Chain A
Amino acid sequence: MSQFSVELRGVCKTFPERGERQELAAVQDLNLQIRAGEFFTLLGPSGCGKSTTLRMIAGFETPTAGQIRIQDQAMNAVPAYRRPVNMVFQDYALFPHLTVAQNVEFGLKVKGVPKEQRDPAVKEALELVQLPGHGDRKPEELSGGQQQRVALARALINRPAVLLLDEPLGALDLKLRKAMQFELKQIQSQVGCTFVYVTHDQEEALKMSDRVAVMSQGWLLQVGNPSSIYEKPATRFVADFIGETNFLSARVLKASNGSVLVEAAGREMLAQWLNGHAKVGEDVTLTVRPERISLFTANGGHRKGRLHGVAQDVTYLGTDTLYRVGLESGEGLLVRVQNSSGVPRFSSGDQVELSWDPADAQALVE
């Protein structure tokens, strides 16, 4: 048996044209290998095909091409009700005519598990999601967060090999969302099954996942752990989508294997190759994360290695302050500075100097 819990081999999904709508390729040649016990996240903007991918794993959509394997078994011909996976829906999809306990035991009941075995399992599942004693309530009497927990218990009671979650926290407020993110991770470490999680919230993805797959317009752009996705984005889209970043157009002056000397914003500067190499004289894009840039008070003299600019917009964010700095070259840079006592504050219109570690500047080949 392979170590993969879920494997997608060249999976495509095309929705047929209907009426005015054209044929639509929702998922294109997707290859993924999800390891057993992993917290794996599908991340991407709205409409990129995340839900479609999840629904193909669950068995609600049939791939147009390619193969889906779960625990080393080909699943294409297996109906949803026989797949060893369970799903948590964004709208929870709790049965309104059943009590919480009846919802939770549903999967066992339809499989013919006798009541004496169902009852303790329901109790255990409700305890797992911290809702003991809520079994007799109706779903409509519960808060959104509690309904979410019931949905989770209803899925986990079946002991699936893979739990599929489609934006499960999308309907919750920020505070509850954060609490549930933490709790989901805890529950996963308790039950040990593979989680395949769908979200369009990059912060949530980075925070919770063991590995993240970034998708755009049906294509898989990059798979990796959160830090590699954030620090070594494979394309401009990923760099832009995952957190904020700055882009400067640049030209290669001198290139070696590891680093590159470019001309950007009217100066020479060093950067690291990110996703390939370019030859001398070719155009590349320089990217620097806003939090990796330091701001200094301008004191007349041109210090080596520093750029000059004018603070334009100043946004106070509590722990940080976000500046938009207009450079002499006409380009703009976002700079995020942590607020602490030793750090100077600037206001709109102030002259500033900027610098960053060459290790934090990356050259993107497009």
Chain B
Amino acid sequence: MSTRSEALLARPAAQLEVRQRITVLLTPPGLWLLLFFVIPLGVMALFSFRAASFGAQRQVFTLEHYQRFLADTSAQRLLWRSLLIALETSLICVVLAFPLAYFLSFRAGPSRLMLLTILVIPSWTSFLLRILAWKVLLGSSGIFNSLLLSLGWIEEAAPILLFSRGAVIITLVYIWVPFVALPIFAGLERINRHLLEAAEDLGSRPWQIFLEVILPLSLPGVLAGFLSVFIPTVGEYVTPLLVGGVDGIMYGNLVQDQFARALNWPLGSVMSLVMMLVVLVLTFGLGRGVKVTDLAGV
């Protein structure tokens, strides 16, 4: 802090003024978080202890639904599966997005911003439309099946393409790659180019510059990209609904079922809370040693 602002802060009146300004600045996001995050979360936590969604049983508080979840191995297996799908999706996204971001940042030169825009443009169309597009592509008369058929590689349209775990992952990867490329790109852009010259000057060959300097310095961006896919994908339910079939069902579908079909809100709440807890623990485990400010640099 400059001495001038320190001197300013030393005056009680100015201190008050600064505090007031911070309050004013933080009020809208604070309210937003309170209204749409903290309160709903509280309501959900409350519901997880209710005996039933409606009626008199609603006023009875119990741990029954937690016990039910702990006993329900199929729900736990589905959660595990969803974590794996999310993990695979985010890893594939990172593997695909890294070279993309690397090219944009180090090789694309002045046209990088235009290329970046082109990369993001597809995300302007509706999320549902993009999933449905994959339904067409992967369907039994879709382009992949027709191609394989006409090449004579397969005898009949392979149903495996659509309504499978693979279809869910392909679709999710397609949707998320640009959003992983962005934080990685931002991370690579922040690398001081003099560092690369310094490394070369000290005798590093190009691959050594990559391994010793670029890769370690890009990790915060990679982690940010990874988490920005992993976190929302664990709870994903639209994509599996549309392209997943029986095989590609995810934990999110189970949760949705409890709320929308079984109308068992307490159990749905328990499931949601458990998933949040698991994701939270995993995220903090991964994020240890990486500063929040690095992630915020996205």
The residues of A with any CB-CB pair to B shorter than 8 Å are: 18-19, 58-60, 79-82, 85-87, 89, 91, 93-97, 106-107, 110-111, 154-155, 158
Contact = CB atoms under 8 A, between A and B. Distances in A.
B202 A89 contact: no
Interface of B: 110, 192, 194-195, 197-205, 208, 212-213, 216-217
B212 A93 contact: no
Contacts of B199: 95, 106, 110
Contacts of B212: 106, 110
A236 to B, nearest CB: 36
12 contacts: A81-B204, A82-B203, A86-B201, A87-B198, A89-B198, A93-B198, A95-B213, A96-B217, A106-B199, A110-B203, A154-B202, A158-B203
A106 B202 contact: yes
Contacts of B192: 91, 93
Given A93-B192, A97-B217, A86 B202 contact: yes
Nearest to B201: A87
Contact of A110 (B194, B195, B202): B202
B110 to A, nearest CB: 7
A18 B217 contact: no
3 nearest CB pairs, A to B: A107-B202, A93-B194, A93-B198
A110 B201 contact: no
A89 B201 CA distance: 11
A115 to B, nearest CB: 15
B217 A81 contact: no
A96 B192 CA distance: 10
Say whether chain B's binding surface is mostly helix, strand, loop, or mixed. helix
Contacts of B213: 95
B194 A91 contact: yes
Nearest to B196: A93
B194 A89 contact: yes
Contacts of B198: 87, 89, 93-95, 154
Given A60-B200, A154-B202, 6 more contacts: A58-B201, A81-B203, A86-B201, A87-B198, A93-B198, A95-B198
A95 B214 CA distance: 10
Given A18-B110, A110-B212, A81 B194 contact: no
A154 B208 CA distance: 17
A59 B203 CA distance: 12
A94 B212 CA distance: 13
Among the interface residues A59, A107, A154, which one has the most CB atoms of the partner chain B within 10 A?
Answer: A107
Contacts of B203: 81-82, 107, 110-111, 158
Contacts of A85: 201
Contacts of A158: 202-203
Contacts of A94: 198
Contacts of A107: 202-203
Contact of B195 (A60, A80, A93): A93
Contacts of B217: 96-97
Among the interface residues B110, B192, B198, B200, which one has the most CB atoms of the partner chain A within 10 A?
Answer: B198
A80 B200 contact: yes
Contacts of B110: 18-19
B96 to A, nearest CB: 25
A83 to B, nearest CB: 8
Contacts of A95: 195, 198-199, 213
Contacts of A106: 199, 202, 212
A107 B205 CA distance: 11
Contact of A81 (B195, B200, B216): B200
Nearest to A85: B201
Nearest to B193: A93
A335 B192 CA distance: 46
Contacts of A80: 197, 200-201
Given A19-B110, A96-B217, A89 B204 contact: no
A94 B208 CA distance: 16
Contacts of A96: 217
Among the interface residues B110, B200, B204, B205, which one has the most CB atoms of the partner chain A within 10 A?
Answer: B200
Contacts of A97: 216-217
Among the interface residues B194, B200, B201, which one has the most CB atoms of the partner chain A within 10 A?
Answer: B201
